């Protein structure tokens, strides 16, 4: 249940930051999406992965069309949607069996860094914003650094809080069982 609630929080966070006086990218990509997908992958069956992916796809549609007022072209989101699946798989592979602090931080770095690299490469490749040269690619990556920094910080925070709360809850239950056994 916690994994679903964290995804819901990520969606509400995106909608709140993507609408009204906050729109768009008001906090430059300070979002709970990466952390919620990692946590979902670690805590839920992969058979349920379609639920957060579909919910985030619907959020992309809503924000693009209604909050930002742009036409919606699904092909422009295919890489992002594939990344949603990839983040869930990363959570499942790295954090499902053993979610140590190092693994949580590592998965958070991998999640935010992969999104930064893939999304900026696609912007460079598919748009006319940057010349298709090595310097154009570097310019595109440089322009994305503030977004990356905040995505990284928010992913580490959200993932750390989610797994930290889970560890504290387990520790509390173990302590309660120890008191009862004595």
State the Cα angle at 99 between 95 and 101, rounded to 5°.
125
Is the pLDDT at 31 greater than 80? The verdict is: yes
What pTM value is reported for the model?
0.89
Class of domain 2-17+32-170: mainly alpha
Is the pLDDT at 51 greater than 70? The verdict is: yes
> Residue 62 has which token pair?
């809503």
Rounded distance between C-alpha atoms, residue 31 and residue 17, angstroms: 9
DSSP 37-73: HHHHHHHS-GGGTHHHHHHHHHHHHHIIIIIS-PPP-
State the Cα angle at 71 between 66 and 74, rounded to 5°.
105
pLDDT in tens, 164-182: 998 898 888 888 777 666 5
pLDDT in tens, 85-116: 999 999 999 999 988 999 999 999 999 999 99
Smallest Cα–Cα separation from 147: which of 34, 5, 36? 34
């Amino acid at each position: 249940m916690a994994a679903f609630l964290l995804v819901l929080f990520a969606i509400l966070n995106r909608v709140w930051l993507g609408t009204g006086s906050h729109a768009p990218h008001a906090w430059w990509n300070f979002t709970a999406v990466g952390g919620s997908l990692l946590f979902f992958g670690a805590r839920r069956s992969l058979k349920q992965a379609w639920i957060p992916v579909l919910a985030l796809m619907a959020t992309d549609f809503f924000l693009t069309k209604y909050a930002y007022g742009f036409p919606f072209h699904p092909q422009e989101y295919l890489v992002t949607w594939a990344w949603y699946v990839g983040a869930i798989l990363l959570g499942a592979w790295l954090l499902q069996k053993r979610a140590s602090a190092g693994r949580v931080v590592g998965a958070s770095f991998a999640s935010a860094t992969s999104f930064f690299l893939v999304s900026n490469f696609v912007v460079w490749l598919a748009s006319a914003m940057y010349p298709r040269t090595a310097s154009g690619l570097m310019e595109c990556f440089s322009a994305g650094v503030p977004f990356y920094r905040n995505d990284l910080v928010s992913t580490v925070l959200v993932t750390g809080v989610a797994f930290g709360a889970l560890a504290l809850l387990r520790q509390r239950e173990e302590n309660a069982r120890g008191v009862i056994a004595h």
